[in-house]
Structure 1
Amino acid sequence: MSNLDYKDFEKNDIHVLRQAQFVASMNVTFYLIISIAKIIIGNIAKSTALKADGYNGATDTLAYLIIIMGIAFAKRPKNQEHRFGYAKAETISTLITSILIIETSLWVIWKGIIDWVNNSSEKPDSLAAVIGIGSGVLTFMVFLLNKYFAKKIHSKPLLTSSKDQKWDGITAVLTGLAILVSDWGFPWIDKLTAIVIGLLMLRTGLFILNSSAFKLIDGFSNESLNQVKFELYKFPQVEEIVKINGREYENDIYISAIVKVDRSLTVSDTMKLTKTMQNYLQRRCGIFELDIQYVS
């Protein structure tokens, strides 16, 4: 990372947010088309599994819409009441997404169980298998594109969604294969697959919920904090790191620390040291802002 001052960072963040919003919009269109196709074909072909996969995609469509709204809100400039800006709006949108996924997954599991009990001998049409496998291949291709753009613009909500998308692609292909087996004389597999899809959705939702909730309560990994401490100790003026805290606002990391230095250092020396440390940590750890208090 090159040395950027505060205004350069803000301009960069707005540019990243706009790119993330555009990519998320494209995903909404893709998921909307695929989901509608799966639900319609699932009803026509009498496949509980394909309908469940369609509802999974519909959930992702709503999830991306929520992320877009979160990104749009996150673009609001900093003010006196929100000195760290509105970046956490992205995290909140991710949290809402996880709750939506969990709710839909429970409904899909319940529907799969009901259909298994009531229609255990009804076989799905092979058309459902073709749609399932074809949509899975397309979804996996979109996942690769999303992963590339998410890493390029350093958007964590998009990266989180792309991970979910990878499993969507794999799930769709496996769903298609399960429908084929069901059509060959094992109709119960179609219903069982719907239940499994619901369980996978539940697992994904719980994972995203845990991750976003951790960020909202200012959780910061010990590994990242230890890395920052390791880099700070490289400065010979630092005798001891008395206390250090970190917080993360999506793409921005804020570090505050109390550092013990030699009492011979002047105020001017510590100001220069802080600036040098911040520039160094920006390059090494992606630190957005460093707040240091010195004691002797």
Structure 2
Amino acid sequence: MSSLDYKNFEKNNIHVLRQAQFIASMNVTFYLVISISKIIIGSVAKSTALKADGYNGATDTLAYLIIIMGIAFAKRPKNQEHRFGYAKAETISTLITSILIIETSFWVIWKGIIDWINNSSEKPDSLAAVIGIGSGILTFTIFLLNNYFAKKIQSKPLLASSEDQKWDSITAVLTGLAILISELGFPWIDKLTAIVIGLLMFRTGLFILNSSAFKLIDGFSNELLNQVKLELEKFNQIEKIVKINGREYENDIYISAIVKVDYHLTVNDTMDLTKNMKNYLQRKYGIFELDVQYVSE
């Protein structure tokens, strides 16, 4: 990463958030059209699986709306009450999204079981298969675009949503194929597919829930923390890293450390040392916030 001062980094972050908000808005429109189409055609074509896939898409529509609100809130500048800013609003929006996905998955599973029991002999129309496969191909194309832009602007909520979108595309294609098989004299496969879709939704929601909850309680990668510790130990003035902690606010990383130094070091020496360490971490890891406490014997 090239050397930047923190004000430029903040401006870049706001620009990234605006880009993420625009991409999320486009996805809301896409998912809204696709999910409504699946639910309506699923009802007309008597396909429980396609309707379940439509409800899956509906949760994604709401998910992107929640992400948009989270990103909008995250753009607020730092103040006295929020010295680290509002970046965790993005993580909170991801957490809410995961809960929404899990809740809907239970409903989809229940609906699939009920339809299996009550209408196990009813075959879906071939139109449902066409819509399922076609929407899957289209969704995968949108996933490739979203994944590219999410990585480019390093938006973690968008990355999480794009991964969900990849599975949505695969699920849609498999749903269409299952509907085709159902028409050959196995109508129960349509209902079973709906239940499987519900289970996949639950799995996805649980994964996102665990990831966002980990960040909200200030979980931090041990691997990255150990890397930072090793980098700081390279500075000759440092005798020992007594303690080091890290926290992550979406694209911002904050490191705090207690380090042992020789007691001959002056205040100016430690100030220069802190500046050098901060510049080094900035260039190598994009870490702009470093809080260091010095101790000596």
Please indicate the TM-score interval, normalised by the length of the shorter structure: over 0.9
Report what 1:231 is aligned to: 231
Cα distance in 2 for partners of 1:239, 1:152 equals 39
SS in structure 1 opposite 2:68?
A: helix
Report what 1:240 is aligned to: 240
Q: CA deviation at 1:58?
A: 0.4
Report what 1:166 is aligned to: 166
Report what 1:133 is aligned to: 133
- Find runs of 4+ consecutive structure 1 residues off by over 3 angstroms: none
Cα distance in 1 for partners of 2:234, 2:151 equals 29
- Structure 1: tracts of 5 or more residues without a match: none
Is structure 2 residue 112 aligned with structure 1 residue 79?
no
- Structure 2: tracts of 5 or more residues without a match: none
Superposed CA deviations along residues 21-54 of structure 1, whole A, max 9, x for unmatched, are: 0000010011011101111110111000000000
Cα distance in 1 for partners of 2:231, 2:91 equals 28
Q: CA deviation at 1:224?
A: 1.4
Q: CA deviation at 1:6?
A: 1.9
Report what 1:2 is aligned to: 2
Amino acid at match of 1:32: L
Q: CA deviation at 1:264?
A: 2.2
Cα distance in 2 for partners of 1:283, 1:116 equals 58
Is structure 2 residue 28 aligned with structure 1 residue 28?
yes
Q: CA deviation at 1:271?
A: 1.0
1:31-42 correspondence to structure 2 within 5 Å: 31-42=31-42
Cα distance in 1 for partners of 2:148, 2:288 equals 23
Amino acid at match of 2:208: I
Q: Structure 1 vs Structure 2: percent identity of aligned residues?
A: 88
Report what 2:117 is aligned to: 117
Q: CA deviation at 1:66?
A: 0.3
Superposed CA deviations along residues 69-118 of structure 1, whole A, max 9, x for unmatched, are: 00001111110000001111101100100010000000000000000000
SS in structure 2 opposite 1:287?
A: coil
Report what 2:16 is aligned to: 16
Cα distance in 1 for partners of 2:2, 2:264 equals 32
Is structure 2 residue 194 aligned with structure 1 residue 198?
no
Cα distance in 1 for partners of 2:37, 2:105 equals 19
Cα distance in 2 for partners of 1:4, 1:120 equals 63
Q: CA deviation at 1:199?
A: 0.2
Q: CA deviation at 1:239?
A: 1.1
SS in structure 1 opposite 2:289?
A: strand
Report what 2:178 is aligned to: 178
Superposed CA deviations along residues 216-235 of structure 1, whole A, max 9, x for unmatched, are: 11111211111111111121
Cα distance in 2 for partners of 1:183, 1:60 equals 29
SS in structure 2 opposite 1:123?
A: coil
Report what 1:258 is aligned to: 258
Cα distance in 1 for partners of 2:88, 2:121 equals 49
Cα distance in 1 for partners of 2:288, 2:158 equals 20
TM-score, normalised to structure 1's length?
A: 0.99
Q: CA deviation at 1:149?
A: 0.6
Cα distance in 2 for partners of 1:262, 1:111 equals 69
Cα distance in 1 for partners of 2:137, 2:175 equals 12
Report what 2:46 is aligned to: 46
TM-score, normalised to structure 2's length?
A: 0.98
Is structure 2 residue 290 aligned with structure 1 residue 282?
no
Cα distance in 1 for partners of 2:202, 2:129 equals 23
